[in-house]
Structure 1
Amino acid sequence: MELFEKLYDENETVKVRFVGFTGGETRFDFGIVYTNMFFGKPLVVCMQTGRSTLLELKDIQDLDFLQAAFKINYADALELAEFFKETLPEVPFQSQYE
């Protein structure tokens, strides 16, 4: 008897962008994984801390969310939001039940 019920097991060739930049007094290094999984939201991984989150343009307007996701201060969250406004694609809503 299996202990786990497999929900999904997908293979996908994805586009990954690695970007490093400085802003103010902080250096940022991110990997951005563009995938069809996760409702089309890119997976953003901080290469310094390993923290990751799914982001879309709507999410970056919430600076509290960015602060919590990456454990950064308000000023750094403002800089990240500006960067991600230019970087992240607009993601159309995708229902998980389609």
Structure 2
Amino acid sequence: MDLVDKLYDEHEQVKVQFVGFATKDTRYDFGIVYTNLFFGKPLVICMQTGRSALLDPRDVENHEYLQNIFRIDTASQTADLADFFSDLIPPAPLHPEYDY
């Protein structure tokens, strides 16, 4: 068997936060992994669906992106989710060479 080139193998102690909340329309349960990897973006995992994304404040402001990633049904639900994430997602360090 041919070996593959290992891209990274990092170990770090991370902060993990589990949050759940309900709006008038639905309930949400998320795990948020705050790490120095991935350009400082926390890994946000929906505990109900298993969908995950690396998010920074710009991503949170992009409602279409949030709606697509987490498969949210309505614009109103997406706005509720964005509002909730805006308090939890810290600004990521700037990496202009990877700016999109």
Q: TM-score with structure 2 length normalisation? A: 0.89
TM-fit CA distance, 1:88: 1.1
TM-fit CA distance, 1:96: 7.6
TM-fit CA distance, 1:23: 1.1
Question: Take 1:7 and 1:95, find their aligned partners in 2: how far apart are those partners?
Answer: 21
5+ residue gaps, structure 2: none
How many pairs does the alignment contain?
97
SS of residue matched to 1:58: helix
5+ residue gaps, structure 1: none
Residue of structure 1 in register with 2:29 after alignment: 29
SS of residue matched to 2:57: coil
1:11-33 CA-to-partner distances (Å, cap 9, x unmatched) read 11100000000012100000000
Residue of structure 2 in register with 1:92 after alignment: 93
The amino acid that maps onto 1:75 is S
Is this contact kept in 2: 1:39–1:96, CA < 8 A? no
Q: Which runs of 4+ in 1 moved over 2 A?
A: 94-97
Whether 1:18 and 2:14 are equivalent positions in the alignment is no
Say if 1:39 and 1:96 are closer, same or farther in 2 by CA, change over 3 A: farther
TM-fit CA distance, 1:75: 1.6
TM-fit CA distance, 1:89: 1.0
Question: Take 1:22 and 1:75, find their aligned partners in 2: how far apart are those partners?
Answer: 13
TM-fit CA distance, 1:95: 6.2
Residue of structure 2 in register with 1:79 after alignment: 80
Is this contact kept in 2: 1:52–1:70, CA < 8 A? yes
1:16-70 CA-to-partner distances (Å, cap 9, x unmatched) read 0000000121000000000000000000000000000000111111111001100
RMSD: 1.7
Identity among equivalent pairs (%)? 55
